[in-house]
Amino acid sequence: MTSPLAPLFGLGLRKPHYHDFLEGDVPVDFVEVISENFMVPGGRPRDVLRRVREKHPVALHGVSMSIGSADGIDRDYLLRLRALADEVEPMLVSDHLCWTRTGGFNSHDLLPLPYTEEALDVVCRNVDRAQDILRRALVIENPSSYLAFTGAEMTEWEFIAALCQRTGCGLLLDVNNIHVSAVNHGFDAHAYVAGVPLEQVRQIHLAGHTQGRELLIDTHDQPVPDPVWALFGTVMRKLGTDVAVMIERDDNIPPLADLLDELDVARSIARNGSPAWA
Amino acid sequence: MGLNTTKPHANSLGAMQADFRRWLAEADESAAERLPLADRRGLSVYQNNYRAQLMDCLEASYTQTLALIGADAFRSAAAHHVDAVPPHSWTLDEYAEGLPGTLAALFPDQPEAADLARLELALAEAFVAPDAPALSLADMPDVAWDTATLRLVPSATFLALSTNAADIWAALNREEAPPAADHDGGVRALILWRHDFTCCFQPMDAQEAALLPRLATGLRFETMCEELVEALGPDHGIALAGELLARWSQAGLLRHPDR
């Protein structure tokens, strides 16, 4: 059992582990699912989600809301997401600070936003509308990015702070994304952590990345690396509220036991400020 | 990501996003040049991600078609499709829908490739079709047959193939060498559906091809019996009605009339 303000520790639900979650007793406090994978009329995906939900609280994590679209928000998408959320009764509904859609084109990639007043107005308007349609607060994840725009009028953390303040949305702090973007763009990850509204953090993602030719790439195909663990320790020392922490692995997926071991490292850092082996 | 005192590009956010789309979908260099970027190194990362995501979607959606025509030919066709058809929907599942048409255009002398892709697509759609309670043999005694309306389960759909793609699919599914393509057998009518969580298909004989599509909108069992009696006489007509009902129920094709 966890105390009301203790962190929760969970994993993303991925196909290679369906059997473990359905037939076993996996020691996690919650699972996160990719919303779009279950926004289907019926069949096995919905059955899996129903059965997992009987065992665990579920967080819905989306990739297609496109809250940064200048075109506005996709009402049909949000109504489908609301229907899923009404059935699942999730602990959180989240998506990314990015855009994926413009003029009827959907990139299926999390594309970067310029941190301008104009973009902030667009994102706030879209988040307000999404929260109205969903009838629940959204939780927005900080992105990893490979581009920076000229004409930025604020830093990413200032943008996020303003977004949270204006819309009341929560923050999903992806510690790996902070590290990846800090390395790619040359900013101080600790300044980022100091600048975001930690009281709004509802969830934390931990993941691994890959060194590309010139940039770090957010691949989610590796164990959580030491710099990300270290930054996670910093975040957990500053957080004064309950938060749901999870390992996010989307490719090169290992046996569930390996991810549970990584989750134990997260528990240790959250409890002691450092991993058990340090 | 340092602050830059230059005022934002004359582009509004919407114009920037439109140019970004042209770069991703059309590799339009002039659109990329217009993007107000402080650091352009990552442009190729986004374009690679975009294309890889769509290629992966097509490969995962058409594993049998890839096996039939070979990885090189499939990837070449998929790359052609990615160039020609940008994605529109919020769900990647819909992106796979257009590939059979592209294969038909690229491989006019191998219609089994497009047919096989259509079959794979239909199976994928049935896999996530709406749930509904199916009529089982055990349910039959409790149904009021004099008033019951026969309806197909929501996953049921029909396919008309011009080749033996269904036989090819079955062989590949057993990990056996596929039979030679047959383009000369005329139209093969199939019904395809999901029974519990397993997708199934089977060819329809002439009698089924005439009746089953009518069950998509509902056909009273009494009407079906009357029509079969009129066509075949009372003994054969009633016997066939009972046989079809049992066959379809056993296969999980019929929606329970009372649930």
pLDDT confidence of residue B110: 97
pLDDT confidence of residue A4: 45
Going by C-alpha positions, the residue among A67, A171, A196, A195 that lies closest to residue A124 is A67
**How far is the alpha carbon of A28 from chain B, nearest alpha carbon, in Å?**
27
**How far is the alpha carbon of A220 from chain B, nearest alpha carbon, in Å?**
14
* Domain spans of chain A, in order of start: 8-272
- Mean pLDDT along residues A157-161: 98
Taking 60 as the threshold, does the pLDDT of residue A277 lie above it?
no
Long-range contacts of B75-82 (CB under 8 A, 24+ apart): B77/B102, B77/B103, B77/B106, B77/B107, B78/B54, B79/B51, B79/B55, B80/B106, B82/B51, B82/B54, B82/B55, B82/B58
Could you give the CA distance from residue B256 to residue B131 in angstroms, rounded to a whole number? 12
Question: Mutating which of A47, A105, A159 best tests the B interface, going by the most B Cβ atoms within 10 A?
Answer: A105
For A122-152, how does the pLDDT look when each residue is reduced to its tens digit (9 = 90+)? 999 999 999 999 999 999 999 999 999 999 9
The reply to whether residue A43 touches residue B194, judged by beta carbons under 8 angstroms, is yes
Say whether residue A155 is in contact with chain B using an 8 A CB cutoff. yes
pLDDT confidence of residue B6: 43
Could you give the CA distance from residue A105 to residue A107 in angstroms, rounded to a whole number? 6
Q: Whole-prediction pTM value?
A: 0.93
Q: Which of residues 23-82 of B touch A (CB under 8 A)?
A: 24-25, 35-43, 45-46, 49-50, 53-54, 57
pLDDT confidence of residue B1: 46
Could you give the CA distance from residue A250 to residue A248 in angstroms, rounded to a whole number? 7
Residue of A109, A114, A155 with shortest CB distance to B8:
A114
Closest-CA residue of A relative to B8 is A151
Q: What percent of chain A stands above pLDDT 90?
A: 93
Going from the N-terminus, what domains does chain B have, and what CATH number goes with each?
13-108 (no CATH), 131-259 (3.90.930.50)
The reply to whether residue A215 touches residue B95, judged by beta carbons under 8 angstroms, is no
* 3-class state of residue B131 by DSSP: coil
The reply to whether residue B1 touches residue A118, judged by beta carbons under 8 angstroms, is no
Does the CA dihedral A8-A11-A12-A17 come out positive or negative?
negative
pLDDT band at A242 (very low <50, low <70, confident <90, very high): confident
The reply to whether residue A69 touches residue B53, judged by beta carbons under 8 angstroms, is no
For A18-42, how does the pLDDT look when each residue is reduced to its tens digit (9 = 90+)? 999 999 999 999 999 999 999 999 9
Chain B residues closer than 8 Å to A69 by CB? 17
Cβ(B3)–Cβ(A113) below 8 Å:
no
Q: What residue has token string 């900013």?
A: A187
Q: Give me the CATH topology for the region A8-272.
A: TIM Barrel (3.20.20)
Determine how β-strand B157-161 pairs with β-strand B188-195: antiparallel
- Mean pLDDT along residues A81-88: 98
pLDDT confidence of residue A272: 81
- Mean pLDDT along residues A66-76: 96
Token pair for B102: 């592209």
pLDDT band at A240 (very low <50, low <70, confident <90, very high): low
For A177-225, how does the pLDDT look when each residue is reduced to its tens digit (9 = 90+)? 999 999 999 999 999 999 999 999 999 999 999 999 899 999 999 999 9
pLDDT band at A72 (very low <50, low <70, confident <90, very high): very high
pLDDT band at A6 (very low <50, low <70, confident <90, very high): confident
Does the CA dihedral A37-A42-A44-A47 come out positive or negative?
positive
Q: Which residues contact A196 (CB under 8 A, 6 or more apart)?
A: A142, A157, A160, A161, A171, A173
pLDDT in tens, chain B (259 residues): 444 444 444 449 999 999 999 999 999 999 999 999 988 889 999 999 999 999 999 999 999 999 999 999 999 999 999 999 999 999 999 999 999 999 999 999 999 999 999 999 999 999 999 999 999 999 999 999 999 999 999 999 999 999 999 999 999 999 999 999 999 989 999 999 999 999 999 999 988 999 999 999 999 999 999 999 999 999 999 999 999 999 999 999 999 988 8
